[in-house]
Amino acid sequence: MFREIANYVRACENCQAHKVDQTAPAGAMHATNVQRPWEHVTIDLVGPLPRSRQGHTWLYVLQDRFTKWVELVPLRQATAKNIAKALTERVTLRHGRPDIVLSDNGTQFTSAAFTQRLAEFGIRHRTTPAYTPQCNPVERANRTIKTMISQYVKGDHKSWDDPHYSSPTIRL
pLDDT number for residue 11: 80
Model confidence pLDDT, tens digit, residues 92-129: 999 999 999 999 999 999 999 999 999 999 999 999 88
Does the predicted model carry a pTM greater than 0.85? no
Please report which confidence band the pLDDT of residue 73 belongs to, taking 50, 70 and 90 as the band edges: very high
Whether residue 105 lies inside any domain: the answer is yes
Residues 17-65 have pLDDT tens digits of: 666 666 666 666 567 789 999 999 999 999 899 998 889 999 999 999 9
Q: Is residue 136 part of a domain?
A: yes
* Mean pLDDT confidence for 59-73: 93
Q: How would residue 172 be classed by pLDDT, with cut points 50, 70 and 90? A: very low
Structural domain range at position 63: 40-155
In this prediction, residue 123 carries a pLDDT of: 95
Highest mean pLDDT among 3-7, 66-70, 166-170: 66-70
pLDDT of residue 159: 79
Classify residue 23: in a domain, yes or no: no
Decide if 47 is inside a domain.
yes
* CA proximity to 144, closest of 46, 4, 43, 22: 46
The CATH number assigned to the domain holding 121 equals 3.30.420.10
Q: Average pLDDT, stretch 54-81?
A: 93
Tally of structural domains, the chain:
1
**Does a structural domain hold residue 20?**
no
Q: Determine, yes or no, domain membership for 131.
A: yes
- Region 151-159: mean pLDDT is 78
Q: Are 101 and 126 in contact (CB under 8 A)?
A: yes
Asked if the structure places residue 27 within a domain, the reply is: no
Tell whether 73 is covered by a domain: yes
